């Protein structure tokens, strides 16, 4: 094993216990980023070849989605070996070179940590499954059928919980005569964190990666690791779901469970507190679906020694309709503003949030909440970036977001590969929905929107591969690509670069108190950040021009115009601002 690198010199951050407060993270989805060998799948050597591009954006951290050995049932979030790289992506030597390349450029590497579950092909699970007497039987959640029921029959499952990807969370294992729990795909059995041996094995694995040079972890669905176990070892049913479904909502019994704080504190002291390098602590980011504001504040309060920040999802659901994510409604901007402001105010002074619009599980924001027409795509992508990046928290840029990449528009299910999308389609059609109806719901929200290959240039396959890509390239690549964006000083790429520079340079962006202005306005998103200086962000989040008064802000509006999407925009008149469609401005006084 290669010794860990000690040459990290964070260009804008310096050492310190909370260096990440001023940092910006860039997420790489390896399968779709850059293919070095022409097999149609992105790989580590492809990422290595693009490090100068990432560095030019000015980010401080690269978060790498899973590259561990995996059967790829859920694109790597089903891990069969935590200590090796999947051959699809390369080798451990390639990863060592990537870490060294990042460190040499003053950036850090955060690995995806997936420890709520493993693959069913992991040796731990194979041993657990082999026999009820296996020493590792209790490393997973095994339970017999319901009393009086025959295993494998509908309704015999130990609980009525409905899975994240569809169907029951329990899979019948004929050989051993019991069910195992999987909150996600059946090939992703949940680890039993109640077992101390499981936790020790996870911490040992984490230390192994830290010793290899990794600078932190983004922890997949980490707030699901504690289940609400009854004294007799059973798990409770969930409240019945609406309609004729036989399933129930089990989430109250596995989300933010009773021992979550204990487990996270134990992990912190076992791994994270001892991982400092060059005076900078490891970064810990918890993906926490269903977390409340109070819980997030508790988890990220530095005094509690758990995690540095959370990914929470409330703002990602403000446009969900009665059918959830598959039935979007038009965005009502006051709802989004109210939600973001609540988290800004609620975490101030103790907790810390991740700021994001996009990731590998979300559709492209410029298509979802912006305007991806040729007329407004660039301005709306810039403005969406502006209103997000200048809030308090650590911003995350998902690959291609800095280009204003858009959703795809596919008309047939055969074009999709995402397991969640495919399961939803099958379940909906089997339930009587028409193909057209289901496809209309899938198009705007499928996770494959985020997973189309990175658009590097206007050559065949967008410069992603010389072969056939594993997922079709977005046909917009001749116009939307990295080569064109880097060459254009007025591009989305350079706007994001300037936003990142502001966070590095201005203390008010890091520590300033947030105050929402015009909360009920349906077109304008405006807020201030106040510390020794005052920062004012005012943005037209619509495709129509607008004029607004910002009472009390005339002094700030007379200050320095730091950044704007429209350099030729009309100057402020006292506290009145006229904005073109998707125009945003940042003032400092």
Per DSSP bridges, beta strands 61-64 and 239-240 are unpaired
Whether 287 is a known active-site residue: answer: yes
Whether 474 shows a pLDDT value over 60: the answer reads yes
Q: How many other CB atoms are found less than 10 A from the CB of residue 228?
A: 15
Which residues face 227 on adjacent strands? none
Count the neighbouring beta carbons within 10 Å of the beta carbon of residue 324.
Answer: 12
DSSP single-letter state for residue 36: S
CA distance 528 to 53: 32
pTM for this prediction: 0.93
Angle at 501 between CA 500 and CA 505, to 5 degrees: 120
CA-to-CA distance for 188 and 118, rounded, in angstroms?
5
Dihedral sign (CA 346, 350, 356, 362): negative
Residue 3 has pLDDT above 80, yes or no: no
Secondary element (H or E) of residue 62: strand 61-64
Backbone dihedral angles phi then psi of residue 133, each to the nearest 5 degrees: -95, 5
Cα dihedral angle (308, 47, 470, 323), rounded to 10 degrees?
A: 20
* Per-residue confidence band for 12, with pLDDT thresholds at 50, 70 and 90: very low
Report the pLDDT value the prediction gives residue 280, as an integer from 0 to 100. 56
End-to-end distance of the chain based on CA atoms, in angstroms?
52
Q: Which of 30, 130, 128, 120 is nearest to 73 (CA)?
A: 120
- How much is the pLDDT for 7? 32
pLDDT above 90 covers a percentage of the chain that reads 91
pLDDT band at 18 (very low <50, low <70, confident <90, very high): confident
What pLDDT, in 10s, does the model give residues 100-121? 999 999 999 999 999 999 999 9
Rounded Cα distance, 205 and 213, in Å: 13
- The predicted pLDDT at position 17 comes to 62
Q: Dihedrals φ, ψ of 77, to 5°? A: -85, 15
The encoded tokens of residue 44 equal 């580590």
pLDDT at 245: 86
Q: What is the pLDDT of residues 344-381, one digit of tens each?
A: 999 998 899 999 999 999 999 999 999 999 999 999 99
- DSSP 8-state class, residue 542: S
CA distance 106 to 62: 11
For the cut 90, the answer to whether the pLDDT of residue 533 exceeds it is yes
Provide the pLDDT for residue 273: 87
Q: Are 377 and 366 in contact (CB under 8 A)?
A: yes
Residue with tokens 């050989």: 175
Residues 6 or more apart in contact with residue 328 via CB below 8 angstroms: 319, 320, 321, 368, 444, 445
Tokens, residue 113: 């940590």
Quick one: pLDDT at residue 323?
84
- For the stretch 379-395, pLDDT in tens is 999 999 999 999 999 99
For residues 252 and 238, the answer to whether their CB atoms sit within 8 Å is yes
Q: What is the pLDDT of residue 219?
A: 97
- Residue 483, both tokens: 């080569």
Q: In angstroms, rounded to a whole number, what is the distance separating the alpha carbons of residues 189 and 532?
A: 51
156-190, pLDDT tens digit by residue?
Answer: 999 999 999 879 999 999 999 999 999 999 999 99
Active-site residue identified among 94, 96, 287, 420: 287
Whether 501 is catalytic: no
Burial call 275-298: b when 16+ CB within 10 Å, e when fewer = bebbebbbbbbbbbbbbebebbbb
C-alpha 124/C-alpha 358 separation (Å) is: 33
Out of 78, 96, 157, 220, pick the active-site residue. 220
**192 Cα distance to chain centroid:** 24
* Among candidate residues 387, 344, 391, the one with its CA nearest the CA of residue 538: 387
Beta-bridge mates of residue 171: 180
From residue 441, alpha-carbon distances to 190, 325, 452, 471 in Å are 29, 8, 18, 20
CA dihedral 94, 95, 100, 105 (to 10 degrees): 100
Instruction: For tokens 């965005």, name the residue.
Output: 331
Query: Per residue, what are the HEC states of 495-544?
Result: HHHHHHHHHHHCHHHHHCEEEEECCCCCCEEEEEEECCCEEEEEEECCCC
Per-residue pLDDT tens for 49-100?
999 999 999 999 999 999 999 999 988 999 999 999 999 999 999 999 999 9
Q: Mean pLDDT over all residues of the chain? A: 94
Query: Would you give the DSSP letter of residue 573?
Result: B
CB 540 within 8 A of CB 584: yes
Beta pairing, strands 68-69 & 81-85: antiparallel
Residue 508 — very low, low, confident or very high, per pLDDT cuts 50/70/90? very high
Cα distances (Å, whole numbers) of residue 559 to 100, 251, 535, 563, 589: 43, 49, 10, 12, 5
Determine the Cα–Cα distance for residues 544 and 580; give it in Å rounded to an integer: 7
Distance between CA atoms of 248 and 396, rounded to whole angstroms? 34
Each residue's pLDDT tens digit, 308-351: 999 999 999 999 998 889 999 999 999 999 999 999 999 998 89
Which structural domains are found in the chain, ordered by start? 19-117+196-418+445-494 (3.20.20.80), 123-181 (3.90.400.10), 509-588 (2.60.40.1180)
Bridge-based pairing of strands 283-287 and 513-517 is unpaired
């Amino acid at each position: 094993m290669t010794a860990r690198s000690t040459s990290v010199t964070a260009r804008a951050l310096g050492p310190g216990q909370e260096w990440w407060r001023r940092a910006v993270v860039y997420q790489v989805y390896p399968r779709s980023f850059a293919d070095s060998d022409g097999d149609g799948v992105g790989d580590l050597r492809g990422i290595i070849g693009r490090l100068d591009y990432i560095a030019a954006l000015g980010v401080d951290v690269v978060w790498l989605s899973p590259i561990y050995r995996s059967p790829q049932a859920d694109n790597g979030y089903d891990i069969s070996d935590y200590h090796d790289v999947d051959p699809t992506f390369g080798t451990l030597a390639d990863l060592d070179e990537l870490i060294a390349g990042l460190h040499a450029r003053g950036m850090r590497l955060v690995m995806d940590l997936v420890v709520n579950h493993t693959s069913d092909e992991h040796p731990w699970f194979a041993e657990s499954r082999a026999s009820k007497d296996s020493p590792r039987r209790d490393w997973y959640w095994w339970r017999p059928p319901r009393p009086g029921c025959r295993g494998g029959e509908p309704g015999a499952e130990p609980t009525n919980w409905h899975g994240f990807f569809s169907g029951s969370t329990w899979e019948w294992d004929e050989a051993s005569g019991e069910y195992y729990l999987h909150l996600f795909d059946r090939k992703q059995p949940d680890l039993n964190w109640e077992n101390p041996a499981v936790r020790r094995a996870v911490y040992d694995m984490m230390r192994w990666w830290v010793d290899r040079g990794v600078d932190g972890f983004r922890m997949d669905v980490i707030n699901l690791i504690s289940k609400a176990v009854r004294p007799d070892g059973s798990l409770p049913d969930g409240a019945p779901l609406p309609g004729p479904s036989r399933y129930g909502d089990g989430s109250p019994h596995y989300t933010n469970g009773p021992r979550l704080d204990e487990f996270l504190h134990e992990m912190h002291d076992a791994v994270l507190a001892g991982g400092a390098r060059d005076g900078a602590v490891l970064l810990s980011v918890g993906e926490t679906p269903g977390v409340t504001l109070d819980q997030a504040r508790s988890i990220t309060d530095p005094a509690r020694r758990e995690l540095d920040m959370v990914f929470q999802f409330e703002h990602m659901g403000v446009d969900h309709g009665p059918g959830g994510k598959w039935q979007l409604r038009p965005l009502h901007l006051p709802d989004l503003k109210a939600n973001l402001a609540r988290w800004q105010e609620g975490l101030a002074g103790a907790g810390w949030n991740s700021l994001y619009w996009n990731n590998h599980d979300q559709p492209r924001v410029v298509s979802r909440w912006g305007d991806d027409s040729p007329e407004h795509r660039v301005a709306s992508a810039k403005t969406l970036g502006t209103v997000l990046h200048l809030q308090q928290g650590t911003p995350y840029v998902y690959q291609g977001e800095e280009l204003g990449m858009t959703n795809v528009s596919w008309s047939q299910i055969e074009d999709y590969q995402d397991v969640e999308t495919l399961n939803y389609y099958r379940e909906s059609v089997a339930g009587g929905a028409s193909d057209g109806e289901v496809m209309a719901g899938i198009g705007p929200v499928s996770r494959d929107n985020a997973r189309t290959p990175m658009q590097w240039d206007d050559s065949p396959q967008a410069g992603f591969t010389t072969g056939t890509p594993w997922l079709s390239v977005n046909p917009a690549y001749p116009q939307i690509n990295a080569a064109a964006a880097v060459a254009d000083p007025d591009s989305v790429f350079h706007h994001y670069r300037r936003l990142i520079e502001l966070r590095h340079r201005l203390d008010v962006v890091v520590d300033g108190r947030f105050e929402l202005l015009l909360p009920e306005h349906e077109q304008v998103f405006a807020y201030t950040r106040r510390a020794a200086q005052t920062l004012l962000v005012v943005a037209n989040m619509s495709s129509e021009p607008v004029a607004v008064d910002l009472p009390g802000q005339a002094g700030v509006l007379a200050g320095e115009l730091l950044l704007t999407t429209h350099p030729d925009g009309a100057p402020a008149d006292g506290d009145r601002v006229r904005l073109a469609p998707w125009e945003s401005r940042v003032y400092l006084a």
